[in-house]
Amino acid sequence: MVFNVKGIAIDIDGTLTFKDRSLNCKAVEAIRKLRIPVVLATGNISCYARTTAKLIGVSDIVICENGGVVRFEYDGEDIVLGDVVECLRAAEYLKNFFEVELLDSEYRRSEVCLRRKFGLEEGREALKKGGFDKVRLIDSGFAYHIVDARVSKGKALEYISKELGIDVKEFAAIGDSENDIDLLEAAGIGIAVANADLKLKERADIITSKKNGEGVIEALEFLGLI
């Protein structure tokens, strides 16, 4: 089978990293062999994403905060696609029902990040009853995120693909968590690594037999990119 892949988007935490968030160096070596645009995607903040991208050494194009922020150059400006105001209101509302601990709040520009101290579905139900239909509560596997309902990693990839002049369906995307669903569905080929959660696997076109970075290598080989 021949794949016409002209760009690739890869989640960082849990995909390029092990569970302890240390980088899989073999996966980094594999990515460095690519000769197509690479977009690194994360639920994490911009400074984390761009520093990780620089250390990996293949691309400065990053999707941050689950699609709420994108950046094209290491020293370039953040392009903020999400509105943090309603997310902050939602976080305050959740404090009426749960113990809420904010993470990285001084750095996040489009969303609110919370420590996973309550049930995800219970949190979603509370926001629904409170009328917060302009936000979504998602789980990255490392934290909860209250995000602008209008943004996602997938929509951010669409934005980036237009800037690069590449059809988004000519991208392949690799991820491991629920917050990667939109990313995989936006791309032409969606790949879940073996350690991915069930929801992502159900939506993926391909599921690797190996976990984390080893799964990334497997995917790149399958696509004929390395």
What is the per-residue pLDDT for 222?
97
The CB density around residue 26, as the number of other CB atoms within 10 Å, is: 12
* Domain 84-148 = CATH 3.40.50.300: no
Q: What is the CATH number of domain 7-80+151-222?
A: 3.40.50.1000
pLDDT band at 130 (very low <50, low <70, confident <90, very high): very high
In the predicted structure, residue 116 carries a pLDDT above the cut 70: yes
Please compute the mean of the pLDDT values over residues 34-50 and round it to a whole number.
Answer: 96
What is the per-residue pLDDT for 19?
87
Strands (E), the chain: 7-11, 38-41, 62-64, 69-71, 79-80, 102-103, 111-114, 135-139, 144-148, 171-175, 189-192, 206-207
Reply yes or no on whether 133 is catalytic.
no
Cα(108)–Cα(47) distance, integer angstroms: 10
φ/ψ of 70, rounded to 5, equals: -130, 155
CATH 3.90.1070.10 placement within the chain: 84-148
The mean pLDDT value of the chain amounts to 96
Residue type present at position 172: A
Distance of CA 49 to the CA centre of its chain: 10
In the predicted structure, residue 1 carries a pLDDT above the cut 80: no
Considering the entire predicted model, what is its pTM? 0.93
Question: In DSSP terms, which residues pair with 148 in a beta bridge?
Answer: 135
What is the per-residue pLDDT for 77?
94
What is the per-residue pLDDT for 103?
96
What is the per-residue pLDDT for 40?
97
State in Å, rounded, how far the first CA of the chain is from the last one: 15
Per DSSP, the residues of 1-64 read ------EEEEE-TTTTB-TT--B-HHHHHHHTT--S-EEEE-SS-HHHHHHHHHHHTS---EEE
Please compute the mean of the pLDDT values over residues 165-171 and round it to a whole number.
Answer: 98
What is the per-residue pLDDT for 2?
63
Please compute the mean of the pLDDT values over residues 159-167 and round it to a whole number.
Answer: 98
pLDDT band at 150 (very low <50, low <70, confident <90, very high): very high
What is the per-residue pLDDT for 68?
98
Per the residue annotation, which of 11, 148, 180, 197 is the catalytic one? 11
In the predicted structure, residue 124 carries a pLDDT above the cut 90: yes
CATH 3.40.50.1000 placement within the chain: 7-80+151-222
What is the per-residue pLDDT for 3?
79
